[in-house]
Amino acid sequence: MVSFPPGAGRAGAAQPPPDWMGTLDDTAGLSLQDESGDGRRTAAPDEDRCLVDRAQAGDVRAFEALVRRHERWVFSVALRMVGDRADAEDVAQEVFLKAYRGLQGFRGGSRFSTWLYAIASHHCLNHLAGRESRARRAARVDTPTEARDENPGSVLDRVADQSPRPDAVLERRDLRRVIQSHLLELTEEHRIVLILRDIQGLSYEEIAASVGIELGTVRSRLHRARMELKVRLAPHLAEGSDT
Amino acid sequence: MTCEEAREAFTDLYDGTLSGPPLVVLSQHLDACAACRAEWAGFRRTTQALEELGDEEPSPGFAARVAERIEAPSWWHRMAAALVFPWRVKLPIHAFALVLLCIVGLWMFQRSPDVQQATHLRTPVPTERPAPPPPAPLVSPPAPAKAQEATPPAAVQPSRTATPEVPGAAPAPRVTGKVEAPSVVREQAGAGQEASTGDETSKPSTPPPGAAEKRAESDTATLRALRSTTGPTESRSAAQPVPPAGSSGLPTPGTRSLSTHRTADEIFSAAATEFAAQQYERAIQDLQLFLGQYPGDGRTPDARFLLADSYRAERRYAEAQAGFDAFLQQYPEHRKAPAARYRQAEIRLATGDPSGCTMLQDALSRYPEIREAGPAREMLSAQCP
C-alpha cells in the first residue's frame, strides 16, 4: 500500500513518490517554475492594498504602479486566450481600464489579484465571443462547433492514428508555439480554466470565483481540457524527450 | 478499477485532491497497468509543459500607455474643448468685439445728421399733410397772364438776386396789443368785435357779403403770381437752417416740424398749398417756420408777403399791417409791392383808420392797372365818401 501526498503529480512533493512517478520525473525533463503549490501570484497583498487606496483617491501614478506589478500575468492570460500579441495587448489594456473604472467598487474583500483575475477572465471570454461572432458574420459560414463536453476518449480516438514522430524533439521555443496553437484549439471555457490552473497556478476556489462557476465545474473542465491537450500534444511530447 | 476510471482520476491525483482508499486503488492500478502508466506519464508531461510556458512580457511602456489612456480626456471633453475657447482666449475676443461695435456705432451716428437731429427733438408731433385743396372759389375767372403782365419785370429781378435779408434787420415791431376797430369798420364788417392776435372767439362772426369770395380770388391770384415767379429749386440759394430770430413777424421755432426734418422746398410748397386752400393758420405756421429756418432763401420776400396776407385773411390786422409795412420798407421794388400798398390801405380801412382812404387813392393813382384796383375802387366809393 502506497500513500500519496496532496499534489502527488506536482514536483516538490513532501514525500518521495513511487517508482512510476519518480521515473516519470526523470524522463519528463521539464522543469517547473513555481513550487508554491497554491498559485504563482505571490505579490504582496499589503503593497497592493496601499496602491489601491491611493488609486481610489485619484492617484493615477499609483494605479500605474499596480499595472506594472500585474501586467505580466494579465498580458499572459490574454495572450494564451487570444493567441496574438497585439490583440493581447489591447485586451490587457482594456482589462486595466475596466479595473480603473471599477476601482471604487473594490472593497478589499478579496485580494486585488483575484479581483483582477475575474475582470481579465470575463473580458477575455467576452472578447473572444465578440470576435467569433464578428468572424461568423463576416464569413457567413456556420462552422460546426465542437462539443463542449466532448468525451476525452473520443478525442483520443480521433487522433489515435497520429503516430508520434520518433525524432520529435522540439526546441523549447517551438514547443511553446505548438502548445499555444493547441491551446487555441480548446474551447474558451476549457482554455481559461486550464490557463488559470496550470499556467497561472490558481486554486480551484480562485478559478471558480474568477470565472464564476462551481468548484465541481472547475474540476470537470480542467480534467477534460488536460486530457484533450494531452492527446493533441502527444506527438510532440515523446517519452524520454529532454526539451 | 478500470482503466477509464483510473484515467478519470488523473486530475485528482495530479492536483493532490485524491486521498484514502481511492488513492490506494489508483496506485495499485497504475502499478499493474502499463497502459495507464503511460497515459499518466503523458498527462504529467502535458501539465508540466503548460507550467513551463510561464508568463510573457508585454511590450515596453505598457503601464505608461494604460495611464495615458486613463488620463486622456473623454470624447465629450475633447468636443467641448474644440467648440468652446478657454476663457483666457474668449474674454479678450469679446472685449475687442464690444469696443469695435461701439466705435462703429459712434461713427454711424456722426455720419447721419438725421439721427442726431432726432435725438435732440423732445416731443415729436406727427405732421399732418392736408389733401390737395380744391380750387379756390373764384368770382371771376382768374387772369394769371394779365397779372403776370401787370407785374413789372424789373421788380422780379431784384427779388431773385437780392441779398438775403437777415431776419430782424428790418424794423418790424412785434404787435402784441389789441387794436380797437372804429365804428365804421364794425358796421361794415357786421360785427363790433375787436381784432386780437389769434383769438378765434373775437373774430367777426359774419363777414361782409362777397368778402370771402373776393378775398379767395385775391389770394389765389397772389399765390399764382408768387408760384409763377419762383424759379426751379436748383436755382435757389441753398440756405442752411439757422435758429429763428426774434424779430417781429418772424416765427418762433415751429412746432409742426419737430418730428421730421423738412427742406425749404417742402415747407414753402406746403405753405403755398395751405394758403390756396384758405387754411391760413397752417399757412402762417409753415411760413413762420420757413422764414425762421431758411432766412437766406430767395423766396423770403414772397414768404413775408404771404405771411402778412395770411394775417389779413385771419383778420389779425395788427400783425398784417406790421408785416406789410416791413415788406414795403425792405422790398419797395418787389413785384408784389403794388399789391402790398393796396393791402395796407384795406387794412387801415378795416381797422377804422381814416388814412386808409388816402392810401387807397394813392395806390389807385399809382397802380390803376393791377387786379387789386377793381375791388379797391368799390371799397373807396363805399367807405371813403
Return the CATH number at B245. Answer: 1.25.40.10
A67 contacts B27? CB cut-off 8 A: no
Q: Is residue A5 very low, low, confident or very high in pLDDT (cuts 50, 70, 90)?
A: very low
B48 contacts A28? CB cut-off 8 A: yes
Whether A158 shows a pLDDT value over 80: the answer reads no
Same domain, yes or no: B166 and B278: yes
When the pLDDT of each residue in chain A is averaged and rounded to a whole number, the result is 75
Per the structure, the count of domains in chain B is 2
% of chain A surpassing 70 pLDDT? 65
Which pLDDT score is estimated for B217?
A: 60
Which pLDDT score is estimated for B320?
A: 93
Q: Is residue B56 very low, low, confident or very high in pLDDT (cuts 50, 70, 90)?
A: confident
Cell matching residue A4: 500519496
Summarize pLDDT for B30-49 with one digit per residue, the tens.
Answer: 888 999 998 898 999 899 88
Rounded Cα–Cα distance for residues A83 and A184 (Å): 7
A93 contacts B69? CB cut-off 8 A: yes
Q: How far away is chain A from the Cα of B58, in angstroms, using its nearest Cα? A: 6
Rounded Cα–Cα distance for residues B350 and B214 (Å): 15
Summarize pLDDT for A199-242 with one digit per residue, the tens.
Answer: 999 999 999 989 999 999 999 999 999 999 999 988 887 665 44
Under 8 Å between Cβ of B260 and B127: yes
Q: Does any CB of chain B come closer than 8 Å to the CB of residue A71?
A: yes
**Mean pLDDT of all residues in B371-380:** 82
Q: Compute CA distances A30 → A112, A203, A237, whole Å.
A: 31, 22, 10
Same domain, yes or no: B369 and B253: yes
% of chain B surpassing 90 pLDDT? 16
Q: Is residue B210 very low, low, confident or very high in pLDDT (cuts 50, 70, 90)?
A: low
Kindly state whether residue B90 falls inside one of the protein's structural domains. Answer: no
Whether A129 shows a pLDDT value over 50: the answer reads yes
Q: Is residue B306 very low, low, confident or very high in pLDDT (cuts 50, 70, 90)?
A: very high
Summarize pLDDT for B93-105 with one digit per residue, the tens.
Answer: 889 999 999 999 9
Domain A152-233 has CATH 1.20.1440.60: no
**Mean pLDDT of all residues in A13-18:** 50
Mutation test of the interface with chain A: which of B7, B14, B30, B50, choosing the one with the most A Cβ atoms within 10 A? B50
Q: How far away is chain B from the Cα of A64, in angstroms, using its nearest Cα? A: 6
Q: How many CB atoms lie within 10 A of CB B350?
A: 25
Kindly state whether residue B219 falls inside one of the protein's structural domains. Answer: yes
Reported ipTM: the value is 0.71
Rounded Cα–Cα distance for residues A136 and A157 (Å): 29
**Mean pLDDT of all residues in B311-332:** 91
Nearest-by-Cβ selection for A7 from B8, B15, B42? B15
Q: Residues near B151 by Cβ (< 8 Å), separated by ≥ 6?
A: B225, B229, B335, B336
Which pLDDT score is estimated for B226?
A: 60
Summarize pLDDT for A94-114 with one digit per residue, the tens.
Answer: 999 999 988 888 887 788 888
Kindly state whether residue B57 falls inside one of the protein's structural domains. Answer: no
Q: How far away is chain A from the Cα of B87, in angstroms, using its nearest Cα? A: 26
Q: Compute CA distances A238 → A166, B49, B172, whole Å.
A: 8, 12, 142
Q: In chain B, which among 291-330 make CB contacts under 8 A with chain A?
A: none
Which pLDDT score is estimated for A238?
A: 67
Which pLDDT score is estimated for A218?
A: 94
B23 contacts A24? CB cut-off 8 A: no
CATH topology of domain A45-139: Rna Polymerase Sigma Factor; Chain: A (1.10.1740)
Q: Which residues pair with B179 in a beta bridge?
A: B195
Kindly state whether residue B371 falls inside one of the protein's structural domains. Answer: yes
More confident residue, A181 or B210: A181
Kindly state whether residue B105 falls inside one of the protein's structural domains. Answer: no
Which domain range does residue B38 map to? 3-49
**What stretch(es) of chain A map to CATH 1.10.10.10?**
152-233
Kindly state whether residue B186 falls inside one of the protein's structural domains. Answer: yes
Under 8 Å between Cβ of B312 and B320: yes
**What stretch(es) of chain A map to CATH 1.10.1740.10?**
45-139
* Most confident by average pLDDT, B82-91, B147-156, B233-242: B82-91
More confident residue, A109 or B83: A109
Rounded Cα–Cα distance for residues A40 and B85 (Å): 52
Kindly state whether residue B248 falls inside one of the protein's structural domains. Answer: yes
Kindly state whether residue B85 falls inside one of the protein's structural domains. Answer: no
